[in-house]
Amino acid sequence: MAKLRIGVIGLGMAAAPHAKSLLDLKDRVEVAAAFSPTPARRKSFSETYGFATCDVAETIFRDPSIAAVMVLTPPNTHLELVRRAAEAGKHVLLEKPLEITQERAEVLVETAERARIKLGIVLQHRFRPVSEALAELINEGRLGEIVSASARLHNWRPQSYYDQPGRGTLARDGGGVLLTQAIHTLDLLVSLAGVPEEVRAYAATSKVHRMETEDLAMAAIRFANGAIGTVSATTCAYPGHPDEIDIIGTRGMARLGGRSLTASFHDGSESSLEDDAAGGAGADPMAFPHHHHRAVLADFLDAIAGGREPRVNGREALKVHRFIASILSAAESGRTQHL
């Protein structure tokens, strides 16, 4: 089978797990060129991973042999880069979030759909073995009907993290803890329990950080079947703790806590699973293995080869974007938001 040729755009902090994944899957994918506007980053990336680089992104878009583009740039650049990829007929694997506003995110997805290119979004928590095991428990009815679904993300980021230019701003990142960190956990919650129907919320910039957007958000949520739950997200929780999701059903309860899944059922039986590839909750946001990123890339390659949609495509990602937008809107207005 011929290798798929791919270009990489963006060689900043997010590039490392993707580069390692590309090396792991080198029998299936070939990096034709990698681009950053910063010469030092291009040099470091090439020396570290052995991939060829280019000094203008147009080299990647103009090369007809390159079938796909991996976009790892700041969120406010995503729409323009996806437009260029769509015009060139190249598939896109895009780092989260989709874009900095709901409107731009929707335009981005529609752009990819009109061009009939595959659009995969890097929301790798869905690919954790413990996440997949919990989804299986729910789908098999082991927990019964869901009566409560809640998510908690208590990360720590020092002030030095937000002192980086553009970090935590509306102009570059589009938001704070919800869109940058909690999006992974909230996407997983939505994939397991569905998109909430109603949201009431508070969001704030705490005294812990000097930043433009929220570092603390809490919400009460209600689902279409009447199930209720909560969301708690922050980057103020020193020294950082694994994210958690609780699913309570009519036949039992399951807790997904970082790398572990535990479930207890009304019939007295129990189930548990451990995953050694979790992290990133503390001061170093990249302190985690790349296993789940590799799974995202493998699924993207399978989608292209099989002519199907990636497991987390643009439409799937829009669900968590709408959820986050509703939390922020509810917090700003002080009113219940209906999705």
Q: What is the pLDDT of residue 280?
A: 60
Q: What is the pLDDT of residues 70-124, one digit of tens each?
A: 999 999 999 999 999 999 999 999 999 999 999 999 999 999 999 999 999 999 9
Q: How many CA atoms lie within 13 A of 127 on its CB side?
A: 19
Whole-angstrom distance, CA of residue 58 vs CA of residue 66: 12
What is the value of pTM for the model shown?
A: 0.95
Is the pLDDT at 286 greater than 90? The verdict is no
Is the pLDDT at 282 greater than 80? The verdict is no
Is the pLDDT at 225 greater than 70? The verdict is yes
Whole-angstrom distance, CA of residue 49 vs CA of residue 337: 46
Task: Give me the helix-helix angle, 15-24 and 39-49, nearest 10°.
Answer: 30
Whole-angstrom distance, CA of residue 105 vs CA of residue 320: 11
Whole-angstrom distance, CA of residue 248 vs CA of residue 207: 34
- pLDDT category at 337 given cuts 50, 70, 90 is very high
Is the pLDDT at 277 greater than 80? The verdict is no
Whole-angstrom distance, CA of residue 157 vs CA of residue 240: 8
Q: What is the pLDDT of residue 97?
A: 98
- pLDDT category at 297 given cuts 50, 70, 90 is very high
